[in-house]
Amino acid sequence: MADILMFEPLELYNLLNQSSRVSRLAEINYLCLIDARDNQDYRTSHIITARNVKMDSDGSFLLPEAVEVDSMQHVVVYDGFTSSLQEPGRAVQCAQALAEASLYPVHIVRGGFQEFSGLYPFLRTEKILYTIMEMESLKMYPVEIIEGLLYMGNQRQGMDPHILSDLKIKSIVNVSQDALESKKGHQTILHINVSDSVQSDLYSSFEKLCSFIGSHLSSGSRVLICSSRGRSRCSAAVIAFLMQHLEYSLEEAWDFTLKCDANMRPNTGFLQQLSDWELHVMGKNVTDISEPRF
Of 3.40.50.300, 3.90.190.10, 3.10.110.10, 3.90.180.10, which CATH number belongs to 143-282?
3.90.190.10
Residues 6+ positions from 100 with CB-CB distance below 8 Å: 1
Task: Read off the pTM.
Answer: 0.95
**What is the average pLDDT value for the chain, to the nearest integer?**
95
Write down the CATH superfamily of domain 4-136: Rhodanese-like domain (3.40.250.10)
How high is the pLDDT of residue 265?
A: 97
Angle of CA points 231, 293, 136, to nearest 5°:
40
How high is the pLDDT of residue 198?
A: 96
Task: Classify strands 124-125 and 46-47 as parallel, antiparallel or unpaired.
Answer: antiparallel
Domain residue extents for the chain: 4-136, 143-282
Phi first, then psi, for residue 172 (nearest 5°) are -135, 135
pLDDT at residue 120 greater than cutoff 60: yes
pLDDT at residue 276 greater than cutoff 70: yes
Residues 6+ positions from 291 with CB-CB distance below 8 Å: none
3-class state of residue 114 by DSSP = helix
pLDDT at residue 285 greater than cutoff 70: yes
- pLDDT one-digit tens code per residue, 33-82: 999 999 999 999 999 999 999 988 888 898 888 788 999 999 999 999 99
DSSP summary character for residue 55:
B
How high is the pLDDT of residue 97?
A: 94
Angle of CA points 209, 211, 216, to nearest 5°:
95
How high is the pLDDT of residue 6?
A: 97
Are the beta carbons of 98 and 36 closer than 8 angstroms? no
pLDDT at residue 145 greater than cutoff 90: yes
pLDDT at residue 183 greater than cutoff 60: no
pLDDT at residue 184 greater than cutoff 70: no
- pLDDT one-digit tens code per residue, 213-261: 999 999 999 999 999 999 999 999 999 999 999 999 999 999 999 999 9
Are the beta carbons of 211 and 217 closer than 8 angstroms? no
How high is the pLDDT of residue 65?
A: 80
How high is the pLDDT of residue 101?
A: 93
Are the beta carbons of 264 and 191 closer than 8 angstroms? no
Confidence tier at 87 by pLDDT (50, 70, 90): confident
How high is the pLDDT of residue 21?
A: 82
- pLDDT one-digit tens code per residue, 3-39: 999 999 999 999 999 998 899 999 999 999 999 999 9
Give alpha helix (H) positions in the chain.
9-16, 39-44, 90-99, 112-119, 132-136, 155-158, 161-166, 206-218, 233-245, 250-260, 268-282
How high is the pLDDT of residue 185?
A: 59
How high is the pLDDT of residue 216?
A: 97
pLDDT at residue 181 greater than cutoff 80: no
3-class state of residue 47 by DSSP = strand
Can you tell me the mean pLDDT for 101-109? 96
Are the beta carbons of 189 and 180 closer than 8 angstroms? yes
How high is the pLDDT of residue 67?
A: 86
